[in-house]
Structure 1
Amino acid sequence: MRVTTAVRPRWTSSSTVWHTPVLGILACATVALAPMEGYLFAVHGQLAKVAPALLAVAWVVIRVRERRVPRAHPVHAVLALFAVVLLASAAVHTGGQFTMDYTVRWLPFLLLTVIIADLAARELPIRLLLGAAAAGATAAAGTALYAMFAQGLPRASGPVEDPNDLSYFLVVAVPMLIAALPSGRHTPPTYLSGQTFLSGQSTAIGLRVVAALAGATLVAGAMATLSRGGFLALSAAVGWLLLRRVLPLRVFAGALAVIALIGASAMSLAGPALAKAFGEKSFIAGSNVDARELRWQAAARMLAENPVLGVGPGGFRSEYAAASHNAEIGEQTPVAHNMYLEVAAELGLPGFVLFLALLVLATVATERVLRASRHRRPMVAVQAALIAVVVASTFLSQQYYLPLWLLIGLAVAAESRLHERRGSADAGAPCDQ
């Protein structure tokens, strides 16, 4: 009988005993604190950048010491080309009012995508990062709801200044929460019995209760922002989960009942305030539609006049008044409220194509992993989160927020893990992760 001994992965060394916890804590802090940036900015203007900066420094130092580079993936080439286009556009429009600020905003996200992809492919479980992101978004939803009712605010906000942007974080976190949960089909080994078995059952029940409360908080917080784009994004994500049979119909029906109960309770406790908020939202809805149409037309005009390198990072804001012929007297430097048009207007067609390529490659990576894996829930949930990003970004400028880049990095990491398993199997090594 042939005995196969376990082979330690080639990247494992004694240094990972302390490397992995340090990187894990910093990575989880980075993704969990992202939805709380409004509160962090209120304390200090640079506080929100501390965790990502420490993560980047630690990752670079550790990888240099280990003499390792990330596993090659087509996304890395696209990110590099995108950075070249970004810097070229910034160089051409170096005198722009917002050029330097927005160039500095872009570059950390490109680096964080590489870091997250590398960490989730080697040291950190993908579910851990998804769980950290969902936990941070749940905390943001809870604090926003509390502030809304305690301070009498018309819409939920605070953790992120704009309610629409807050809705984006909360909606994307709903499928992340589902992905972070262990499979419900898992059963304890047969040798477990007595108190151990009961503890396992209790833990599973406890996780489901916590997940249900977190999901209700996320959905309630998203609804309290009164963001129509957020509602459409949530509907698209949930529809994908139902279509791919990851979200059971009975769970969906139960969630709808809980949401209805929360809504009825909110109306009974704060009916007049909510009615006023809905009235104000309805009043400004028409003007919002007109304003966005003006901005989209201005972005298209900028792209048509500057198709190669656009108007530069942040150029939409500085060029909007001229491109729109002062169509909005009260808004001289707004955002486009459409991620795709804003990226195209600022970075030109090459930057826009590369940006779309990142989304396409991430989606293809998740589908490849899904077809090769027995555990469907995490990747379907990541796909649903990507769908939420794509839909919400039709109405919002979300390229400067972490969820998009986190999902791209995790998709790359999942495909890298798949290639590693196949390589280990071809070499005769065990395939377990």
Structure 2
Amino acid sequence: MWVCLIAAWFMIYNGHIQQAAFDITRGFGIGIGNSFTVGGPEMRITYLGFFSDPNDLGMFIVMCLPFSVFLFYTGNIIAKLVTLMTIAAIIYGVYMTGSRGTLLGAMSVIAAYFFIKRAGAKLILVGALIAPIAATLLAAFGGITSGESSAYGRLDAWYDGTQMLLHNPVFGVGMGNFMDEHGKVAHNSYIHVAAELGVIGYSLWGGALILNMLAGYDLIKKHTDWQAPDDKTQALYDREILVNKALFYAMIGFMVTAFFLSRQFTLTMFIFMGMQTASLVRIIRIRPELAYVFEKRNIFKSIGLAWCIIVAVYLALKVGL
């Protein structure tokens, strides 16, 4: 987690340098490694490699927010002060990316924490099912875009994606062929995967993503309090639960931002999913009876819930277009 937060600090600092060096005549500011801002006067910050897009950078920064909260609760006084500054830096970084999807992702992480902590299971399930519809309608009315044409361009891409799926249901149109069919990316990772990989591919991708989230949610709601046979095991279990909780909320940040971006195979997702899975495995080693979270019925349940996202978007498009 410290590695991610240190990386986030460097990226945000680099963004600050970029904006401070902004040249109105050139239309961009240069930072470390010749990284530069995009969007002209908007001065949207970037970094190097696959973080050269402000949306990718913003997604990573948002996913680091729960790590800061985790280290605040588990660290000493110095760590608490550092993490408070880190949280402030993350908020500043989200602002500098100029990404509306990133801002919505950050707000969703915070809202999800209080919602999950207070609400019952049925209310949370209803909220999760309504969220894709609300997000689609938000896009329809231009709530996350800079203009009406951008909003409807995004919705057109989503609608074309659903049509690709309907006409090629089993295997989709093929990996990397969405742009050939539509001309632009889908601006929605879920629609993008479903359109390109069909029922089989999306069931694997979406099912794996939702399975981890269901397992994490189950641990948060049902197994946070547990009396271990000895103090060492108790301390190990309590810390691992907190780690898993931080990763769970980090992945909420990914899932929300990915709803407005085509980042379905980004390295960031696989790294964080890998850490989340590893944390779940460590918890199961401490308490083998929790292995039920990966049982067959939960796998099929995850696939079904993943498809609920696609169905919800499709139904909302009928209203939004």
Is the pair's TM-score, using the shorter chain for normalization, greater than 0.5? yes
Q: Is 1:306 aligned with 2:176?
A: no
CA distance in 2 between partners of 1:301 and 1:423 (Å) = 44
Deviation at 1:412, TM superposition (A): 1.7
Within-5 A mapping of 1:11-410: 130-152=1-23, 153=28, 154-159=42-47, 160-181=51-72, 183=74, 204-243=76-115, 284-320=146-182, 332=183, 334-370=184-220, 371-373=222-224, 375=238, 376-410=241-275
SS at match of 2:79: helix
2:71–2:79 Cα contact (<8 Å) kept: no
Please state how far the C-alpha of 1:172 moved relative to its aligned partner: 1.3
Offset of residue 378 of structure 1: 2.5
Please give the alpha-carbon distance, in whole angstroms, between the structure 2 residues aligned to 1:176 and 1:400: 22
Measure the CA separation in 2 of the matches of 1:222 and 1:302: 34
The Cα of 1:284 is off from its aligned counterpart by: 4.1
CA distance in 1, matches of 2:144, 2:163: 30
1:316 Cα shift? 0.4
Q: Which amino acid aligns with 1:300?
A: T
| Whole-angstrom CA distance in 1 between matches of 2:212 and 2:62 | 19
TM value normalised by structure 2:
0.65
Q: CA deviation at 1:386?
A: 1.4
Letter in 2 for 1:379: N
What is the DSSP-based 3-state SS (H/G/I as helix, E as strand, rest coil) of the residue aligned with 1:367?
helix
Percent of residue pairs identical: 27
Q: SS in structure 2 opposite 1:398?
A: coil
Q: For the Cα contact (< 8 Å) 1:174–1:215, is it kept in 2?
A: yes
Give the structure, 1 or 2, with the largest relative contact order (CA under 8 Å, sep 6 or more). Answer: 1
CA–CA distance in 2 between the matches of 1:423 and 1:294? 47
Q: Which runs of 5+ in 2 are unaligned?
A: 29-41, 119-142, 226-237, 290-321
Structure of higher CA gyration radius:
1
Structure 1 distance, partners of 2:144, 2:223, is 47
| Cα distance change on mapping 1:150 and 1:367 into 2, 3 Å | same
Displacement of 1:362: 0.6
State the number of aligned residues: 230
Unaligned runs of 5+ in 1: 1-129, 185-203, 247-280, 321-331, 425-433
Contact 1:177 1:211 in 2 (8 A): yes
Deviation at 1:286, TM superposition (A): 2.3
Deviation at 1:143, TM superposition (A): 0.7
Check the 8 A contact 1:144/1:221 in 2, yes or no: yes
Q: Match for 2:112: what amino acid?
A: W
How many Å separate the matches in 1 of 2:271 and 2:73? 20
State TM-score, norm by structure 1. Answer: 0.49
